[in-house]
Amino acid sequence: MTLGDIIKDYRLNHGISQSDFSKLSGITKGYISMLENNKNPKSGKPIAPTYKMFQKVAYAIGIPINELFLQVDSTQPIHMDFCDENPYEITPDDSDFFSLYQQLDDTGKELVKSYTKGLVDSGNYLLSPTASGE
C-alpha cells in the first residue's frame, strides 16, 4: 500500500472527506489528492512523501509513525527529511530490510531492535563516532 492508499482507506472507513482529513492532518487537500492518486500532476511521477508527511498522517489517524511505516509497501518512495541540511532517502537496501522486518512477529521484531541497539551501543559499526549521540 502507498501512503495515499492508507489515507483513502482511512477516509472511506471513517466517512470523511479530503477536506476533513486536511483539517485533521494539517496537509493541504491538494496534496492529499496527489497522495491518493500517487502521482504528481505536473511530472506524472509517483509522490515521495516526506517523513513530516508521515508524521502528520500518523497523528491524524491515531497510530504511531513506525506502525504507519510498516503499512506501506517497499515500492513507496519516502523522502527522509529529518533536517534540511542532510535529507536522506530510503535506499533499496533499507526498503528490503523494512520488508523483511514486516514479516516478523512481535518477538522477532523485539530481537531485531535489541540486536541493533547492541550494535549501536558497541560503537563498532557506526557510520561516524558521533552517530551514537556522544
Q: What CA–CA distance (Å, rounded) separates 102 from 73?
A: 9
Question: Nearest 5 degrees, angle CA 122-CA 80-CA 11?
Answer: 125
125: its cell numbers: 559499526
Give yes or no for a contact between 78 and 49, defined as CB atoms under 8 angstroms apart.
yes
In whole angstroms, give the CA distance from residue 93 to residue 26. Answer: 31
- The per-residue pLDDT for 93 is 63
- C-alpha–C-alpha distance, residues 101 and 1, integer Å: 16
Q: Which pLDDT belongs to residue 79?
A: 78
Please report the pLDDT score of residue 33 as a whole number: 92
Question: What's the pLDDT at 134?
Answer: 41
* Average confidence (pLDDT) per 10 residues, the chain, 134 residues: 95 95 93 90 84 91 90 82 50 67 86 88 72 41
The residue count of the chain comes to 134
